[in-house]
Copies of this chain bind each other. A is one copy, B any other.
Amino acid sequence: MSGTQLALIQIDNYGPWTVSPTPRPEPDIQSLQSRLYADLCQQIGNHGGYVFYTRFDNMIAVTNGFDAAMFRRIQESVRNRYPVTVSIGAASDPSPGAALERATAQLQTAGSAQDGSRREVLAVEDERGAETVTIAHFDLVDATGRYTDRDMAYEVFIEIERAFGALMRYFYRTHGALSFFVGGDNFIAVCPDISTEAYRSAIEHVREETGIDLQVGVGRGHDAREAGMAAKHALETCRAEARPVTVQGARAQTGD
């Protein structure tokens, strides 16, 4: 059965904190945010999950198999090492978008993100049984040759942002899939169980809207790590064989 547990990790009362009592230096804010994200990558990654920085103050994680105690340990570890705390909402659904919607609603019900007295909320829906996660790993076809080595750095950045924007909107609207920019020219999407044709259509859509060619490897597994590694290997096949879509994943690993 296909299903993904999505978690919303929200820094409590962060906006006000960044300007209290007066605005804090940007380098401190940036390094606080990116280190907190790095730590969550490792802590969640050690249990097979993925986390995306998204807005940094609202991070989104794929956490199949996590229970409340694991999230509580994350909250404790953040509280003990950072000047901020985090609230976490989590829910499971065959549609990543639907899962995140319920995860979000749970935090919103508990109070505003800028309510100074709302701290370390933890709201985890009962988790389902054995589920399958689908991860799609996209990148630009020959990004270094076509863009990085040829165009001005900021123009390359604009192009990648355009491709990402087109993909994220299309994929969310049509399938409730959640796409994230993960650096370089890489996008990772958390997907429901959709057809190979659906990936082809997404690539086609991005090309039409932006003129940019994407390729994608798709993997499935019991958690984000398993699905994500399968997706990376599938993307390597795209590169080696110059084909835009490779779906691998659980199939290759379990023989079904």
Which residues of A come within 8 Å of B, CB atoms?
A: 8, 14-15, 18-19, 22-35, 37-39, 41-47, 50-51, 53-58, 60, 73, 76-77, 79-83, 97, 100-101, 103-105, 108, 112-114, 143-145, 148-158, 160-162, 164-165, 168-169, 172, 178, 182-185, 188, 225, 228-229, 232-233, 235-236
Contacts and interface: CB of A to CB of B under 8 A. Distances in A.
Nearest to A183: B56
Contact of A27 (B44, B103, B149, B169): B44
Given A80-B28, A165-B162, A165-B165, A58 B23 contact: no
B149 A178 contact: no
Contacts of A112: 144-145, 149
Contacts of A26: 45, 50, 182, 188, 225, 228, 232
A172 B73 CA distance: 34
Copies of this chain present in the complex amount to 4
Given A23-B233, A162-B165, A165-B161, A183 B55 contact: yes
Nearest to A162: B165
B185 A153 contact: no
B80 A82 contact: no
7 contacts: A25-B225, A30-B182, A31-B38, A39-B42, A55-B156, A80-B83, A162-B169
Contacts of A37: 30-31, 34
A35 B39 CA distance: 9
Contacts of A155: 172
Contacts of A35: 34-35, 38, 81
Contacts of A228: 25-26
Closest 9 CB pairs of A and B: A27-B45, A56-B183, A23-B232, A28-B80, A31-B38, A34-B34, A31-B41, A27-B41, A34-B38
